[in-house]
């Protein structure tokens, strides 16, 4: 396929604009004036429409096919939620910040306030900030809150403890905030080794960052004990909300001892992601951390009016402009309102049932390193297939040929040749059965015709990409 620049023909236009009757740039200084025309592609409207329509047909999305990308919760984003976002579109994002502006956007502020209250209820926290723009920024915000808490108390803290199954962003956020990382290995029962954890804990530990259920899709049965040990050292418990879809309405992280949580609205609460974002990573905290939350906070006065409170004294400061990704929150708000408490419980139950269905049907064909009831995702290893020289990546590429987005591969790092499948609650049994059949085909092909897998994909616009060359010889430039 040609680039749009390669389709360019000098002088061709989609739209002919009338000549300007305003004196050309008289007020602009000479040094700001363009010497040559901008190097834009010159194409007709029809060329342009065909170009982008054809490009879009090469795209893969949740709206075209099943997308079982583990740890990403690629659930269907109902189209009705778009209406909620559009409703708020006429309001200028500066409105609330103008003198007297809050009078004109009570609905907007109220939506953010209510969303915060609902998320606090779901997660068992006391207050939520909606500012963080995505999960990783939520983590960063959370760690800065923890750091501010310890500073205010005069605690001397040096370390953050993470299990070795953690998302890479956990230790990365903690390291950026200036902490050293202590990694605790996973025990054979699939969760952080409780005895090694006890040894790692000292009064110098600032926080323990956990995902629960973890990246193996397993709920940690020791979680309360872990929180109690952490608290005995005045270390705070951080909950990575990536896997919240597994436990909504069943367990509140706040009830089992977590002090700070980030929620990925773009995962659990059905807003677009995977190239279609942006994300949104609200952060919830327990009471002791409220003073440090980003400002301005939205508060409700005794008359039910929403106000902005801006007390900068101990706050970690703003983490984003305009209260975060507002339109994303409007979609998530609508999602929660439409499903209600019972609906959200059903979401978690169905997500867990679906993952267990796939796990049970595939475990005869793929090694299951932690063979127990899983939560919303299951992690296989391609170790059986490796005996025939077939890697997880080969199976992933074969799935592309069969019309499926591959599951997450090579994560979590503690499972060799990991294949991590998260179907979510929005897929039907028929869709999962079709996927399972293709996974079984791949397992059989690994034994009978491994080359078929190693050659995949053959149906895509480009075959295997040279990932090593791309990473080693980074050469990014603009055409022009």
Partner 1 sequence: MATMYFTKEHEWVKVKEGIGAIGISEHAAHELGDITFVELPKIGKTVKQFDVLAAIESVKAASDIYAPLSGKVIKINEALDDAPEIVNESAEDAGWLAWIEIADETELKNLMTHDQYNEYLKTL
**Where along the sequence are the contacts to partner 1 (CB under 8 A)?**
168, 410, 413, 467-468, 471-472
Of 354 and 381, nearer to partner 1 (C-beta) is 381
CB 392 within 8 A of CB 417: yes
Of 239 and 411, nearer to partner 1 (C-beta) is 411
Of 282 and 407, nearer to partner 1 (C-beta) is 407
Of 278 and 457, nearer to partner 1 (C-beta) is 457
Instruction: Tell me the pairing of strands 283-285 and 260-262.
Output: antiparallel
**Residue length, the chain?**
480
Listing DSSP states for 229-254 in one string gives: HHHHTTPEEEEEGGGGGGTTTT--GG
Q: Which residues contact 285 (CB under 8 A, 6 or more apart)?
A: 125, 126, 127, 128, 142, 145, 259, 260, 261, 292, 293
* Among 402, 388, 406, 403, CA closest to 451: 388
* Among 370, 369, 420, 359, CA closest to 392: 420
Of 471 and 479, nearer to partner 1 (C-beta) is 471
Instruction: Look at residue 287 and give its three-state secondary structure.
Output: helix
Alpha helices in 247-325, H assignment, sequence order: 265-268
Of 7 and 454, nearer to partner 1 (C-beta) is 454
Shortest reach from residue 173's CB to partner 1, in Å: 15
Shortest reach from residue 178's CB to partner 1, in Å: 15
Shortest reach from residue 167's CB to partner 1, in Å: 13
Instruction: Tell me the pairing of strands 205-211 and 159-163.
Output: parallel
Shortest reach from residue 467's CB to partner 1, in Å: 5
CB-CB neighbours of 391 under 10 Å: 17
Return the structure tokens found at 242. 């990536």
CB 378 within 8 A of CB 456: no
Q: Report how far apart the first and last C-alpha atoms of the chain are (Å, whole number).
A: 19
* Among 119, 135, 345, CA closest to 240: 135
Of 313 and 468, nearer to partner 1 (C-beta) is 468
Shortest reach from residue 416's CB to partner 1, in Å: 9
CB 143 within 8 A of CB 177: yes
Instruction: Look at residue 412 and give its three-state secondary structure.
Output: coil
Shortest reach from residue 158's CB to partner 1, in Å: 14
Of 368 and 409, nearer to partner 1 (C-beta) is 409
Shortest reach from residue 191's CB to partner 1, in Å: 21
Shortest reach from residue 409's CB to partner 1, in Å: 9
Instruction: Please state the φ and ψ torsions of residue 426, each to the nearest 5 degrees.
Output: -90, 5
CB 250 within 8 A of CB 229: no
Shortest reach from residue 77's CB to partner 1, in Å: 30
Alpha-carbon span 240 to 243, nearest angstrom:
8
Of 196 and 300, nearer to partner 1 (C-beta) is 196
Instruction: Tell me the pairing of strands 260-262 and 236-240.
Output: parallel
Shortest reach from residue 341's CB to partner 1, in Å: 40
Of 6 and 467, nearer to partner 1 (C-beta) is 467
CB 260 within 8 A of CB 289: yes
């Amino acid at each position: 396929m040609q680039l749009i620049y390669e389709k360019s023909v000098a002088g061709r236009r989609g739209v002919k604009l009338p000549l300007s009757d305003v004196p050309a740039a008289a007020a602009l200084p000479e040094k700001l004036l363009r010497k040559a025309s901008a190097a834009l592609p010159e194409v007709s409207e029809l060329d342009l429409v065909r170009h982008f329509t054809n490009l879009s047909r090469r795209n893969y999305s949740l709206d075209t096919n099943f997308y079982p990308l583990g740890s990403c919760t690629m659930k269907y984003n109902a189209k009705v939620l778009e209406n909620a976002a559009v409703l708020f579109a006429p309001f200028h994002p500066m409105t609330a910040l103008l003198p007297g502006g809050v009078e004109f956007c009570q609905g907007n502020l109220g939506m953010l306030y209510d969303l915060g209250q609902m998320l606090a209820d779901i997660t068992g926290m006391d207050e939520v900030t909606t500012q963080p723009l995505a999960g990783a920024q939520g983590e960063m915000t959370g760690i800065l809150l923890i750091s501010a808490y310890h500073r205010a108390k005069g605690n001397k803290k040096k370390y953050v403890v993470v299990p070795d199954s953690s998302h890479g962003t956990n230790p990365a956020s903690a390291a950026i905030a200036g902490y050293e990382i202590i990694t605790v290995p996973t025990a054979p029962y699939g969760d952080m080794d409780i005895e090694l954890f006890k040894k790692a804990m000292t009064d110098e530990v600032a926080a323990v960052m956990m995902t629960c259920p973890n990246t193996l899709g397993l709920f940690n049965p020791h979680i309360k004990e872990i929180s109690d040990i952490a608290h005995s050292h005045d270390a705070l418990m951080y909950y990575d909300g990536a896997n919240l879809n597994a436990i909504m309405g069943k367990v509140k992280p706040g009830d089992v001892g977590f002090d700070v949580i980030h929620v990925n609205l773009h995962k659990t609460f059905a807003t677009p992601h995977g190239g279609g974002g942006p994300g949104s990573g609200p952060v919830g905290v327990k009471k002791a951390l409220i003073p440090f939350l980003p400002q301005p906070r939205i508060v409700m006065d005794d008359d039910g009016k929403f106000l902005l409170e801006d007390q900068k004294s101990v706050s970690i400061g703003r983490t984003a402009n305009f209260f975060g990704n507002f339109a994303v929150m409007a979609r998530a708000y609508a999602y929660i309102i439409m499903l209600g408490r019972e609906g959200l419980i059903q979401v978690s139950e169905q997500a867990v049932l679906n993952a267990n269905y796939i796990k049970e049907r595939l475990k005869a064909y793929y090694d299951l390193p932690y063979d127990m009831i899983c939560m919303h995702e299951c992690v296989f290893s391609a170790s059986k297939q490796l005996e025939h020289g077939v890697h997880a990546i080969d199976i992933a590429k074969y799935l592309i040929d069969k019309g499926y987005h591959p599951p997450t591969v090579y994560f979590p790092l503690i499972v060799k040749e990991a294949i991590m499948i998260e179907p979510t609650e929005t897929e039907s049994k028929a869709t999962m059965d079709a996927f399972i059949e293709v996974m079984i085909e791949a397992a059989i092909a690994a034994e009978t015709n491994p080359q078929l897998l190693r050659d995949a994909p053959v149906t895509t616009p480009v075959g295997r990409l040279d990932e090593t060359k791309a990473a080693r010889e980074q050469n990014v430039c603009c055409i022009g």
